[in-house]
Amino acid sequence: MANISDPYLIRYPEIVGIAAEDGRTIELIETFDCVGGAMWAMHHYKKSPLVQGARIVGNTSRYLLDAGTTRLALEGSHFPAGIEDAAVEGDAIRIAYRGMGGGGVGASACRSLAKGVARCTADPSGGGREAGATVWLPRRSRVLIGIDDTDTPEEGATWTLAHNIARAIADDTTRYLSHTIVQLFPVPFRTKNCVAIVCEFASTDPAATADAFQALLERYTLSDETGMAVYAGFDPSALLPFGRSVKKGQVSPADVDRVRPLVDVRINGRGITGAIAALPFYTRYDEALSL
């Protein structure tokens, strides 16, 4: 018979924090192993006053938080757990969880032991006790890398190359968060399906993340028309009008020039149009895949 070392503990595989430039908004990204536990937590955590919104992306729960501190009016069954503190402290992000009963176990031990936690304080938990934990995470920035036109009619696929490069550069500095295929208007000079790719990272060194990605893209691309664009910032929504226009029809070089100041153009082939257009659609899968 197999032994279970910690029968009443499930460690979250990883927790990552991304802070807006002004430190007033934080995205908390929790990779989960137990789907039921993650769904239960999201159902209740989103009732916390600091939570602007919550969503599931792949095997992660994402909470958009206002920086601040609040007292949670916890109530068994109705509101048994939540987030009561979120703040940027220099190069760190501080998050405090609190819960009752099993929610207290999740709020304390399960999260305090996660990969990505630099340090923590946690209460004893279990049974009917109320418990919580405060964790400190490295302050990270969002880095979005868009690429297009890496293949030829004979070989290659941009979506696979993007994913493999993103995995290859992932380390403690650069955490690979998401990969989104973005359908663009089928222009006559497309390879076949006319899609671009945006990969999302959480990084403590955005320039190094972009440099590492660029080096591998230049090594492995098969096309002379490759485009690569980087957006390092919390919210790329200013690029949405351009991205949507590239989905609707062929755009002009002047249209592309108007948005160049918003991004860091790393490789300036013809694919730069799709590379820039893909950036604001990260994790917006339904819109990204539609024409």
Q: What are the sequence ranges of the domains in the chain? A: 14-139, 149-289
Residue pLDDT, tens place only, 141-173: 999 999 999 987 778 889 999 999 999 999 999
Residue pLDDT, tens place only, 196-252: 999 999 999 999 999 999 999 999 999 999 999 999 999 999 999 999 999 998 889
Q: How many CB atoms lie within 10 A of CB 246?
A: 23
Q: Of 74, 50, 64, which Cα lies nearest the Cα of 20?
A: 64
Between the two ends of the chain, the Cα-to-Cα distance in Å is 54
Ramachandran class of 23: left when φ > 0, alpha when ψ lies in -120 to 50, beta otherwise:
left
Mean pLDDT across 36-42: 97
pLDDT exceeds cutoff 60 at 274: yes
With a CB cutoff of 8 Å and minimum separation 6, the contacts of 282 are 144, 178, 180, 198, 200, 236
Residue pLDDT, tens place only, 163-199: 999 999 999 999 999 999 999 988 665 555 689 999 9
Which amino acid is it at 249?
G
User: Alpha-carbon distance 47 to 27, whole Å?
Assistant: 16
Pairing mode, strands 68-69 and 60-66 = unpaired
pLDDT of 190 reads 54
- Sign of the CA dihedral with 147 first, then 153, 157, and 159 last: positive
- What number of CA atoms fall less than 13 Å from residue 253's CA on the CB side? 3
Q: Of 20, 34, 160, which Cα lies nearest the Cα of 105?
A: 34
- How far CA 83 is from CA of 9, 27, 65, 133, 215, in Å, comes to 19, 13, 9, 10, 40
Instruction: Show the DSSP H helices in the chain as ranges.
Output: 35-45, 102-105, 111-112, 158-169, 206-220, 240-248, 253-259, 272-278, 285-289
CATH topology of domain 149-289: Alpha-Beta Plaits (3.30.70)
Q: Can you list the positions of beta strands (E) in the chain?
A: 14-19, 25-31, 51-57, 60-66, 68-69, 81-89, 92-100, 119-122, 130-148, 174-183, 195-203, 227-232, 264-268
- How far CA 160 is from CA of 179, 188, 220, 239, in Å, comes to 10, 23, 11, 24
Q: Which two tokens stand for residue 34?
A: 């137990």
User: Alpha-carbon distance 97 to 86, whole Å?
Assistant: 9
pLDDT of 188 reads 62
- Kindly report the average pLDDT of the chain as a whole number: 94
